[in-house]
Amino acid sequence: MSSHNSQEYDIQEHYSLRGLEGAILAALTAAGKDIHRLKLEDLAPIDEFHIRGREATRELASQVKLNSNYKVLDVGSGVGGASRYLASEYGCQVTGIDLTDEYCHVAQSLADWLGLSSLVTYRQGSALDMPFEDHSFDVVWTQHAAMNIADKPKLYSEIARVLRPNGYFAMYDVLAGPVSPLYYPVPWASESSISFLITPEKLNEILETTGLHILSWRDTSEVGRVWFKEVATKIEQQGVSPALGFHVLLGPDFRVMAQNQVRNLNENRIVLIECIAQKLPA
């Protein structure tokens, strides 16, 4: 097995949680949701698998000016929260691609439950070799996915390849801060062998080299710190963790992963960057 294939296998193993669909159903029931009449907001605490959840997705989407004519690709779509939000809110056609087969299966099931299967579809595959034609999408979208991908130039060149000229790239990711090393485990990696963070400066350089011209760039690290404090305060006041949350996706190690993620953010070991770029015409 090549080192690339070995890394992808380890990443799939990190995210795979057998029986995930059943666990989500059980959590929805425990949260008092009617699984036969689910609404998009019912899933928000679990299906937006990134810091600040739906709020961060809404902010990023507002900058792209999406409409129903757009074809959108969600790279690292996870269980599909962002893609379903974009389809529901803007009426655009969204395709999700994710390395983890179980995530793709669950994402499609959730879309079916919400009546969105005509607008969203999911494909299992690698972001480094995407099964799409050149210039297939008006927008390529990614949130908290690149941290697991070592070959950043290849990732962003693939994104540029499938993006039409003048199309938009919308990104919200975890990058390397000025302090190192990271505390592990974190939500995207149990240890360092599947974690590949680069600095904001390096990402900026790669995007421009790939022909993705940066239109906006925002460090949202402080906003993320405030969000974590609010979540912790809410849990403390309620005295119990909610039935629906990222712990359903990450299993028993979730608490220490979350603690390390907060510590890494507070100590500037990671930073949160939101970026909108446009593909330059040839």
Query: Is residue 265 one of the residues assigned to a domain?
Result: no
C-alpha pair distances (Å), 95 with each of 31, 118, 143: 29, 11, 14
Query: Is residue 234 one of the residues assigned to a domain?
Result: no
Of 11, 27, 164, whose CA–CA distance to 76 is shortest? Answer: 11
- Would you tell me the crossing angle of helices 101-113 and 81-90 to the nearest 10 degrees? 30
The tens digit of pLDDT for each residue in 164-199 reads: 999 999 999 999 999 999 999 999 999 999 999 999
Q: Say how far apart CA 155 and CA 127 lie, in whole Å.
A: 6
Query: Is residue 251 one of the residues assigned to a domain?
Result: no
Query: Is residue 35 one of the residues assigned to a domain?
Result: yes
Q: Which two tokens stand for residue 169?
A: 């790239």
**Which of 30-34, 247-251, 277-281 is predicted with the least confidence, judged by mean pLDDT?**
247-251
The predicted structure's pLDDT at residue 1: 45
Mean pLDDT score across all residues of the chain: 91
Q: Say how far apart CA 168 and CA 278 lie, in whole Å.
A: 5
- Do residues 119 and 93 lie in contact, with contact meaning Cβ atoms separated by under 8 Å? yes
Q: Say how far apart CA 101 and CA 96 lie, in whole Å.
A: 12
Query: Is residue 111 one of the residues assigned to a domain?
Result: yes
Q: Say how far apart CA 152 and CA 206 lie, in whole Å.
A: 8
Of 182, 183, 174, 188, whose CA–CA distance to 224 is shortest? Answer: 174
The tens digit of pLDDT for each residue in 217-253 reads: 999 999 999 998 887 787 666 655 666 677 777 778 8
Of 146, 82, 66, whose CA–CA distance to 120 is shortest? Answer: 82
Q: Say how far apart CA 224 and CA 50 lie, in whole Å.
A: 10
Query: Is residue 263 one of the residues assigned to a domain?
Result: no
Query: Is residue 256 one of the residues assigned to a domain?
Result: no
Q: Is the pLDDT of residue 11 over 50?
A: yes
pTM: predicted TM-score of the whole model, two decimal places: 0.92
The predicted structure's pLDDT at residue 244: 64
Range of the domain at 123: 3-176+191-223+271-279
| Concatenated DSSP letters of 37-90 | S--GGGGHHHH--STTHHHHHHHHHHTTT--TT-EEEEET-TTSHHHHHHHHHH
Q: What is the CATH number of the domain that holds 148?
A: 3.40.50.150
If one counts the domains in the chain, the total is 1
DSSP code for 148: G
Give CA angle at 66 (63, 71), nearest 5°: 130
Q: Say how far apart CA 214 and CA 191 lie, in whole Å.
A: 32
Query: Is residue 244 one of the residues assigned to a domain?
Result: no
C-alpha pair distances (Å), 2 with each of 7, 8, 200: 9, 10, 29
Of 142, 136, 139, whose CA–CA distance to 171 is shortest? Answer: 142
